[in-house]
Amino acid sequence: MDRTEPFSRVCLTLSGPDIFLEGLYVIRLRIHRGLWPAAGDAMKTFIERATPLLERGLSVIPIKPRDKAPIYGVTHRTQNAEVVAAWAAQFPEANVGVTADEHTVILDADDAAALIAKTGPLHTYTVESSPGKAHFYFRRDGFTVRNLELGNLGSLRAENMYVVGAGSIHPKTGLPYRVVNDAPLAGLGQGLYRHLESLAEEATREINRVILQWDGKEKIGEGSRQYFLRSQAGKLWNGERTEEEMFAVLQELNQKFCDPPKSVGELSRLVTWVMQKEPNPPAIQVTLGGTLPNKEPEKWDALNRGVLLAQKIPPRTALLQDGDVAIFYERSVNQIFAWRGVGKTNFALGLGGALASGGRILNFQATRASRILYVDGELPAAQLQERVRDFIPDAYDENVLCISPELLGLTRAFNFFDQKDFDALRDVIERYHIEVVFLDSQSTVLSGDSLKAEFQEARQRRLLELRFMGVCVVELHHEGKSGQQRSTSKNDDILDVQMQLKKVADWEERDALTFEMVFPKIRHKRQGLQSGYEVTFEAGVWRAQASDIQELAAEMLKGGASIRAVAKELGVDKGRVERVKRRLSRDKLAVLNQAVSVSGT
């Protein structure tokens, strides 16, 4: 036999359980038992694999032959037959990848039976990737869907991710990815998606437990090994180790503790990815109150009163003050809440501008210029751009950084309960040396029901982790119908300062930005702090005015004074006097209506 004869042809022309090629190679063909790809699958070309997927409206990319690694990444995904034909000419034997896109998401099940036991039957187009594993394809149903890590169960791939498509050959088993349910794509549905989110939260807790409590002996399962190895690689990368040294250490950990171990290719890609990140500095030995060490102590030592008082604990630095009263400290967690539409985003951006410039807003004076990160989960990018332009002076560009899902090119909302999102946020904070983080708002950057204790407990952990990084956190939140923040009292537990922007009486949306400033909670000294005053923003100027001015204005209007005269006399803007006049008119009308009603009876 000619040694250059294609292997697929050998499979077709030879028979028998064992085939000897010049006495050197033994290939056991057990097609009847499903342990080797049928000749038709082995002979398929890239174009033959890709065409049925294009006909289903799926986006594809070329994958290395008998591999999972992409030739072109997900950003090159296409449904264009001409592009696919060009790829086929260049890579005729390539596997095919299917990417999540604006129409399609893919549920990648590492344990299909266990997943279905939790979700119930999944009636949609399904591909078996290898025995016991499957890809369930779904159509997006018009709501925001994000990537979800489900631990041992698998993952939901919704954005910038792909799977290997039907007809491709698996690099480990040599078996084809085969269609096991040739049905149309079903809609994902919010019910199933919410259930998957719950499973992802469970998996995240378990993954964190495994990584944080790893004792150096326990085996790391398939659902946690990626996070385990990534964590270990991050600790190893100090800016000095070579790629070979990094790989050698990780491969030893991989072989010894991962069950089953990751492939050499996967581990190599992980090392390359980690070494593109900022190096991890070596652990620093510090006293209480200094920089946090990288490793927790093996045993906890309690300090008696004398030892505690003898510790050289550096005092927290105030970043924003009202007179001699500190408002925001470094290493603090704070909250601004308000009724929808009152102006909490605008005011928060104004505060951010003052902090970034070392400047002033109302009675609040920044002690120095600080670098801020504004994390917006609510506004369209165009509106965020407009508000930043209106409320933050352009002289402080270097100290003001912003991120939002739309600015990052995401097609889903932030969720900092998700470990990947939270790690990405921490990476931004570290790389850009952020000192103050604004989170706008609780309901759009943390997914879940804020009335539930589980939500608040998870939220507290996340905000405290940011505080432990040394940053000042300012979380924006909504006011409920009761006039208090829209949650349980547990929301307030970890807060240093809580500001409420109260909706003022008689305010209408056509009026200038107006609210009453109050402080429901201040953990530290508050003597001398002004509170209960009215704030307006008009013609680019923030103003604070005493709330009792309304009654004085009402008396002057009743006495016949004009709006302009009242505003000039009291030193307030005309909009505020106009609101008082509207209130008086409504009160007068109500009295007249009551009189008519009484006389009519």
Using one digit for the tens of pLDDT, what is the confidence trace for 9-26? 233 333 333 333 332 232
Q: What is the pLDDT of residue 513?
A: 84
pLDDT above 50: residue 44 = yes
Average pLDDT over residues 273-277: 70
State mean pLDDT over 552-564: 83
Mean pLDDT of 236-251: 85
Cis peptide before 260 (omega within 30 of 0): yes
Is 410 in contact with 445 (CB distance < 8 Å)? no
What is the spatial distance between Cα 48 and Cα 126, in angstroms, rounded to a whole number? 18
Residue found by looking up tokens 């209408």 in the block: 508
Q: Name the pTM for this structure.
A: 0.48
pLDDT digits (tens, 9 = 90+) for 205-240: 776 666 656 667 778 877 678 778 877 887 787 777
Residue 60 in this model has a pLDDT that exceeds 90 = yes
* Mean pLDDT, range 117-134, rounded to an integer: 93
User: What percent of the chain stands above pLDDT 70?
Assistant: 81
Report the amino acid identity of residue 140.
Answer: R
Least confident residue range of 77-81, 317-321, 540-544, 594-598? 594-598
- DSSP letter, residue 410: -
Question: Where are any strands of DSSP class E within 388-512?
Answer: 400-403, 436-440, 472-478, 497-502
User: pLDDT digits over 88-103, tens only?
Assistant: 999 999 999 999 999 9
Higher pLDDT, 212 or 507: 507
Mean pLDDT of 154-176: 90
The proportion of the chain whose per-residue pLDDT surpasses 90, expressed as a percent, equals 41
Token pair belonging to 338: 């308000």
Confidence of residue 510 (pLDDT cuts 50, 70, 90): low
Tell me the pLDDT of the chain averaged across its residues: 81
Confidence of residue 539 (pLDDT cuts 50, 70, 90): confident
Q: Decide if pLDDT at 441 tops 70.
A: yes
Q: What is the DSSP string of 533-600?
A: EEEEEETTEEEEEETTHHHHHHHHHHTT--HHHHHHHHT--HHHHHHHHHHHHHHHHHHHHHHHHHHH
Q: What is the pLDDT of residues 346-382, one digit of tens each?
A: 999 999 999 998 889 998 999 988 999 999 999 999 9
pLDDT tier at 426, thresholds 50, 70, 90: very high
**β-bridge pairing 436-440 and 372-376:** parallel
What's the whole-number mean pLDDT along residues 275-289? 48
Query: Which stretch of 38-47, 126-135, 367-376, 380-389 has the lowest confidence by average pLDDT?
Result: 38-47
The yes-or-no verdict on residue 559 having pLDDT over 80 is yes
Least confident of 19-23, 67-71, 213-217, 566-570: 19-23
**pLDDT above 50 for 123:** yes
Between 42-51, 205-214, 318-327, 542-551, the lowest mean confidence (pLDDT) is in 205-214
pLDDT value at position 546?
65
Residue listed under structure tokens 């004074």: 561
330 is written with which tokens? 């470094």
pLDDT band at 417 (very low <50, low <70, confident <90, very high): very high
* For range 33-46, the mean pLDDT: 57
